[in-house]
Structure 1
Amino acid sequence: MATVLGAGLVAACTVQKPDTQANRDATAKEIIEQVKTTPDGTSTANSLDDYKADLARRISQVNSTKVHIERPQALLRSVIVIKYVVDKDGNLVRSEVVRTNKDKVTEATALTTLRNTAPFPKPPIALLSNGRIELSETWLFNNDGRFQLRTIAQPQKNE
């Protein structure tokens, strides 16, 4: 009986909120508030890799309904690499697809999720070059159209 009751409590605690824009906005706000920044909104990342990982987590959280949360399938639908530039204030200055398999739907999803996440936390001054930072990220798409970002992705399945 205790096992059944415990399982019921666990199930009750994992009930998902309905997928509404208000809930996505609230989730994004929670994530943004958890980002480690100085009072002026500058990231406290100590390296380019740390800043890139922070941005990947933020992109994934803001676009959570489009993210695949389990290990990516062995043979991916699409791999999209985007190069993008963030200015000293965290604004997305430019983005471009640099690798694609010509799947226009996944290209559009990758670009849209990046744009919808901006502005980002301000990059640390030490990482800037001419007031900007250039990054690249890889979107790994499963057949269902959901993605993970390579910087923070789980290992792919073998089969």
Structure 2
Amino acid sequence: MSQPSPQAPRPATLGGLLSALTAALLAACSTPMPPPPVAAPTAPTAPRPAAPVATAPAPAPAAAIPLPPGAQLSSAASAQDYRKDGARHIYAQNSHRIYKGKMPPLLQGVGVMQMDIDSRGQIVSMSWLRPPSHAGARAEIERTARAAAPYPVPQRLGRVTYTDTWLWDQSGQFQLDTLTEGQRDR
């Protein structure tokens, strides 16, 4: 049997490795950082006189687009917000034709109309997403929508697509879905 020679390295143990690693980390943390380099003092400089600043004349205000007579402004930030402004406008123009209370269970027509409104509140185009089945209701809704122009000017949007559902009663009175009071069951 041979004995290990006194100069042969001993196998490293996990505990020994962890101890050596911990000691190295602690030694690295305790070493102070070298001080930052000191800048050489500089002689104070005399303040320079400020160069004259040329000021340009204020730009002339952009020519405001004249609003059509009776036009109102809408500060809506989205088409969804504009729906309320558009519906209130139609109601204000047709106050005598707005059905008061809940609508009856059977309506003469229900239609979904889409109108493109320009930056002056004028209708650019009108289309039906779902026309009412009664031809008389369809024609009367189109006439009522056109007669309500100009619509509130969508000043933040520039242009807007206003979509609303028209609930038309056989009496010729109506409500818009945006401001409806609902519909009776019977």
Q: TM-score range by the shorter chain?
A: 0.5 to 0.7
Instruction: State whether structure 2 residue 143 is matched by structure 1 residue 112.
Output: yes
* Percent identical residues: 31
1:137 to 159, 164, 174: 164
Greater helix proportion: 1
The residue type paired with residue 76 of structure 2 is A
**Which segments of structure 1 move beyond 6 Å, counting only runs of 4 or more?**
none
Out of 59, 73, 89, the position equivalent to 1:58 is 89
Residue 65 of structure 1 aligns to a residue whose secondary structure is helix
Aligned to 1:85: 116
Aligned letter for 2:115? Y
TM-score (norm 2): 0.57
TM-score by length of 1: 0.66
Q: Does 1:146 align with 2:173?
A: yes
**Gaps in structure 2 of 5+ consecutive residues:** 1-68
- C-alpha root-mean-square deviation of aligned residues, in Å? 2.1
SS at match of 1:112: helix
- 1:6-85 matches, within 5 Å, as 41-85=72-116
Contact in 1 for aligned 2:113/2:131 (Cα 8 Å): no
The alpha-carbon deviation at position 50 of structure 1 amounts to 2.6
Residue by residue over 1:68-113, the C-alpha shift from the partner in whole angstroms, topping out at 9 and shown as x without a partner, is 1221112222101111100111111111222124311111111111
Question: How far off is 1:115 after superposition?
Answer: 0.6
**Structure-1 separation of matches of 2:75 and 2:82:** 8
* Whole-Å separation in 1 of the counterparts to 2:74 and 2:146: 19
Shift in Å at residue 48 of structure 1?
2.6
- Correspondence for 2:185: 158
Q: How many residues align?
A: 118
Q: CA deviation at 1:114?
A: 0.8
Q: Counterparts of 1:96 and 1:104 in 2: how far apart (Å)?
A: 15
For structure 1, list consecutive stretches of 5 or more residues without a partner in the other structure.
1-28, 34-40
Q: Rg larger in 1 or in 2?
A: 2
